[in-house]
């Protein structure tokens, strides 16, 4: 059996004539992994979930489930359950009956329902809560009831649409860990939606970064953090310094009027590029020792580090995370390793980007032999 459970082939979605909500989206979802759709409000995340669940149909393209085309299969015939943002629990039913609802519709025997519901409740750490009214449950507990209601049907895929957004920060962190753990134990494919990049990085096997109805980049959290394909992804995933530059030749890039050794290659000579350096990869030195010089404009203490901003002579703003403290208006230097520099081409497709990255490791292998 192929490991692919869901496949989108050139899927476009228009709700009305003049707006394209999804534009030629293709991807594959593998069985048993935790996926996250990440992107700003309105980029089409919920629309992708609705297409998978069968609550709406694609305008163009095909959606396959276990290798079969499922464009016109109704929602209730799909092996998919959804956990909605507002949980959509039934307030007039207790916890047990909320979870049992889908099984009652299937006309399952009472004894079987009892066993399944109790198992689902124990999975989400709510054993013994069956008789409670929904209104007497906390936000985090309601969230778990909603998840129990989804897993009790033993679907192949669970869709979760920003299920943690109503929770306070502490509970949110706790539930992130619990959800990830639950997914591992169940081995069900989770497709999770969020616009919180930290949440996506912490929880996912694979992230799809979306913007304006297209997938900008897909990959593991590490891939996407370390090798963003373009300015949008670099900016959306974590804090970044992004400046324009010129790729002089392989392994040599120029920005802020200086040339630096880097680890990037495979671009044209003197190609205009964008350069990303993460704030935690910048080290503060004296003005003279710096590879770049900035004048400090602000400093905030963030608990574990100082967040320092300043401007270079070209007017670019730089953000630095450091355990050292400086003063506003200080002239300081910044140092960084060649590996800290990440060079991005304008308008590179994900396919070409991946090919170029692959050539890096092939190159290393050749150099070693």
Instruction: Enumerate binding residues for ligand ATP (CB under 6 A).
Output: 15-16, 21, 39, 41-47, 195
Residue 114 CB contacts under 8 Å (≥ 6 apart), including other chains: none
Contacts to Mg ion by CB under 5 A: 46
H helix count then E strand count, the chain: 9, 20
The stretches of the chain forming alpha helices (DSSP H) are 45-53, 95-105, 110-123, 139-151, 169-186, 197-203, 221-226, 231-236, 350-368
**Shortest distance (Å) from residue 168 CB to ligand ATP:** 20
**Shortest distance (Å) from residue 193 CB to Mg ion:** 6
Residue 43 interacting entry, from ligand ATP, Mg ion, none, C-beta within 5 to 8 Å by type: ligand ATP
**Shortest distance (Å) from residue 111 CB to ligand ATP:** 40
Residue 21 interacting entry, from ligand ATP, Mg ion, none, C-beta within 5 to 8 Å by type: ligand ATP
Shorter beta-carbon distance to ligand ATP: residue 15 or 346: 15
Whole-angstrom CA distances from 37 to 78, 191, 194, 256 are 20, 7, 6, 35
Shorter beta-carbon distance to ligand ATP: residue 8 or 101: 8
* Cα–Cα distance for residue pair 30/204, rounded to 1 Å: 13
* Cα–Cα distance for residue pair 335/125, rounded to 1 Å: 49
Answer yes or no: are the C-beta atoms of 292 and 333 closer than 8 Å. yes
Residue 15 interacting entry, from Mg ion, ligand ATP, none, C-beta within 5 to 8 Å by type: ligand ATP
**Shortest distance (Å) from residue 41 CB to ligand ATP:** 3
* Cα–Cα distance for residue pair 255/244, rounded to 1 Å: 7
Shorter beta-carbon distance to ligand ATP: residue 84 or 123: 84
**Shortest distance (Å) from residue 232 CB to ligand ATP:** 14
Residue 47 interacting entry, from ligand ATP, Mg ion, none, C-beta within 5 to 8 Å by type: ligand ATP
């Amino acid at each position: 059996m192929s490991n692919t459970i869901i496949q989108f082939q050139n899927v476009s979605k228009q709700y009305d004539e003049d707006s394209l909500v999804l534009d030629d989206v293709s991807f594959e979802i593998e069985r048993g992994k935790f996926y996250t759709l990440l992107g700003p409000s309105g980029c089409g995340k919920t629309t992708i979930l609705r297409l998978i669940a069968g609550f709406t149909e694609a305008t163009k393209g095909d959606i396959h489930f276990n290798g079969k085309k499922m464009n016109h299969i109704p929602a209730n015939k799909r092996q998919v359950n959804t956990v909605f943002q507002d949980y959509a629990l039934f307030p007039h039913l207790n916890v047990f009956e909320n979870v049992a609802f889908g099984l009652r519709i299937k006309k399952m025997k009472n004894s079987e329902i009892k066993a399944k519901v109790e198992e689902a409740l124990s999975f989400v750490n709510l054993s013994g809560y069956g008789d409670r009214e929904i209104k007497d449950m906390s936000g985090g507990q309601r969230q778990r009831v909603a998840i129990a209601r989804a897993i009790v049907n033993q679907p192949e895929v669970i869709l979760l649409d920003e299920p943690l957004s109503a929770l306070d920060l502490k509970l949110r962190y706790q539930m992130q860990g619990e959800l990830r753990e639950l997914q591992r134990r169940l081995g069900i494919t989770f497709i999770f939606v969020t616009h919180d990049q930290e949440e996506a990085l912490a929880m996912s096997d694979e992230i799809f970064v979306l913007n304006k109805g297209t997938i900008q980049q897909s990959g593991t959290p590490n891939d996407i953090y370390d090798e963003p394909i373009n300015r949008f992804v670099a900016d959306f995933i974590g804090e970044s310094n992004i400046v324009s530059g010129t790729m002089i030749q392989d392994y040599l890039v120029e920005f802020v009027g200086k040339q630096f050794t880097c680890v990037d290659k495979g671009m044209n000579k003197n190609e205009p590029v964008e350069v990303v350096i993460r704030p935690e990869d910048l080290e503060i030195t004296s003005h003279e020792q710096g590879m770049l010089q900035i004048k400090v404009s602000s400093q905030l203490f963030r608990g574990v580090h100082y967040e320092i901003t300043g401007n270079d002579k070209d007017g670019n703003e730089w953000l630095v995370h450091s355990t050292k403290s400086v003063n506003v208006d200080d002239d300081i230097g910044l140092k960084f390793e060649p590996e800290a520099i990440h060079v991005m081409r304008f308008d590179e497709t994900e396919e070409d980007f991946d090919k170029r990255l692959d050539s890096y490791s092939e190159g290393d292998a050749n150099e070693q032999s």
